[in-house]
Chain A
Amino acid sequence: MEISVLQHLASGNVWSSLWPELSLGCLALALLVLEIVLPKKSHDVISQVAILGQMIILGFVLFCCHSSDATTEIFNGLITLTKTSHIMRVFFLLASIFVSLIARVSLAKQTMPKVEFYHIVMVVSAAMMLLVESSHLIMAFVALETVTIGLYVLVSYSRESALTLEAGLKYLVMGALSSSLLLFGIVLLYGVSGNPLLAGHTLSGMHYQDLGNFLNLNPHNFLASVGIILVIAGVAFKMGAFPFQIWVPDVYQGAPTPTTAFLAVASKAAGFGLLLSLFHTVLLSYSWLVIPVLSFMAGATILFGNFAALTQTNVKRLIGLSGVSHAGFLLLGVVASATIPMALGAVYFYLFSYLLASFLVFCVMAHVAPAEDANQELSHYVGLARDNPFLGAILAIGLGSLAGIPPLAGFMGKFFVFLAAYQAKMYSLLFVAIIGVVVSIYYYFGWIKAAFFESSEQDAGAARPARTEVCWCNRLIFTLVALATLGLGFYQGALGQWLNW
């Protein structure tokens, strides 16, 4: 190959466009350097550096790089930067900051190495950004594997607990299975698209747009439909959607609380980001297959998540199963977005409201949790509102938003998704979703009831773990997030305009 050709190829590698991911990666490396350089007693600074550094990156992303409607393709078609990728960058940075904040509270109760946790969280967040930006199956798979392998480590992080080990093993096996399903689907799609006997065959079958064009020309190919089903199955594992939600309760319970938060919010959102970018380029060519499959998944996920959560007394299992049901609501929005463009905005708004509400709930969980992280029972919350009104209020706002109680952000998120589903004429799914919401209010209020209306005199004998006091800067952050949850319920304009409905 001539040197000029090489130069032409290399000129597509616009590294500067990926500066948020690169600076997250560099920050992650800097933490490791700090761990070596700093004396052992001042290691607490490292987590502060991690959080502050990410906040600075978030500030730059928010204010210094304005999101344009233009779509730019860089790295020879591996990465496509759009408005949505900008939104998801903000989302994953926020999620990463929140998880680091929870980790500061939660890891302080444990005796595990701490710096590596922040490092891996940041690397995984950067990989999640790349995942939703990628427009090429190879890039998407590499980013997804970086996410998954980082999460294997984070799930089994508190190695000394038997439940954590069980969770780590289950997540490892399930994650490997889902990756192999996804890879098999990708290989089938790539192989079919390169078949010279078919119309429009292409060598660049890994590229979303080229693959979509090929599938449009061959709308009923058997192998391609098998490939598409396998790809959906692989992504459904990440989202925790039926019938691939089996791992959720055990893994969520066993994983350390910050990891559970990361799995519940960022990993789920990464799955949805990948699904959305595939949905509108590749999968919609096979809408005769994809729409019924995803609709069934949405309905079954909502029903399973909500009914299984009804009987849980461990709050981590409860929040995991409620997360499954949230995946179902989001899938409803994804299916609706096939015909209604407004549904896309609804899905992103839902993701943001879910992020804020989950953060509030997980923060309270991190403060209430006993030293044995996996055993967080509903009974630990008895009398929380009386002993610590601040945490009680935060919990009530978070759970209320998750349940979709007006006037909180979660209500508007559900409302917009349902509105989109109504406009897309998906009446039967809408009916299922409303049943799901009604059921979900029952178990969310069981939790709130434990915190607010049950007095601790009833079980004075039961040992309750000591709760961590909330430091002033966490108080400030929680209050801000709670206000944002409340504010977004009243006024979606800022976010709504930004999401461009």
Chain B
Amino acid sequence: MEAAIMVNLMFTVFALVTVIGAIGAVLSRNTVNAAMCLLVCLGGVAGLFVELDAFLLAFLLILVYAGAVVALFLFIIMLLDVKGSLGGINRNFSTVASLAAVALIIAGVAAFLRNAVLPTPNPASVLSVGDTLKSYAELLFTTYLLPVEVVGFLLLSAMLGVIALSRKST
């Protein structure tokens, strides 16, 4: 019983952090603040993943998105020194897009409230997928070895491309 309350409490905390972070990322006028709010939001999502026992996903989210992608965003924001807000047309467009998103969310919640019972499959029939780091690693080095090698070539040619494009012409 105690554990259930704890789980609920943690869910509420992480969900709140996620939602507040997302709202902050959308609403803040300062781009650096927006990126920071995105970081908070990603942290919350990672917490939710931990609660679902998806430790690897949580770890990757922190490592790749929070660690690398948001850092890249911050670099670019500071490099370009972006100030002010978007122009009028973009503002209108984003208003329409956010209204559409809100409508979709309301429709989703309404649909959920109308038939609130989700079909529950027999747990025994659900095939289990490995979710630990070890099982991922084993798959990567056996079944999916070829795609991993191909990704190596992908990264190499992407790196070469960046060098070729940024080099001064001879």
Contacts and interface: CB of A to CB of B under 8 A. Distances in A.
Contacts of A116: 160-161, 163-164
B150 A146 contact: yes
B146 A157 contact: no
Chain A: interface residue count, which band?
35 or more
B164 A123 contact: no
B127 A203 contact: yes
A127 B153 CA distance: 9
A203 B129 contact: yes
B164 A6 contact: no
Nearest to B156: A123
A371 interface: no
Interface in B144-166: 144-147, 150-151, 153-154, 156-158, 160-165
A111 interface: yes
A111 B119 contact: no
Contacts of A149: 154, 157-158, 161
B165 A146 contact: no
B57 to A, nearest CB: 14
B169 interface: yes
A130 B154 CA distance: 13
A288 B145 CA distance: 37
A255 interface: no
A411 interface: no
A331 to B, nearest CB: 28
B76 to A, nearest CB: 15
A74 B169 CA distance: 44
A156 B170 CA distance: 17
A371 to B, nearest CB: 13
A160 B169 contact: yes
B121 interface: yes
B146 A150 contact: no
Contacts of A130: 146, 150
Interface string A12-35: 010000100000010000001000
Contacts of B147: 78, 138-139, 142
A137 to B, nearest CB: 11
A270 to B, nearest CB: 14
Contact of B158 (A18, A142, A153): A153
B121 A197 contact: yes
Contacts of A252: none
B165 A142 contact: no
Contact of B146 (A9, A25, A139, A196): A139
A119 B145 CA distance: 23
B142 interface: yes
Contacts of B167: 113
Interface in B104-128: 119, 121-122, 125-127
Contacts of B162: 153
B154 A145 contact: yes
B138 interface: yes
B51 to A, nearest CB: 21
Contacts of B153: 25, 123, 126-127, 146
10 contacts: A1-B138, A9-B142, A75-B146, A113-B164, A124-B157, A127-B153, A146-B153, A149-B157, A153-B164, A194-B127
Q: Which 7 A-B pairs have the closest CB atoms?
A: A153-B161, A9-B142, A116-B164, A111-B169, A142-B147, A146-B154, A196-B121
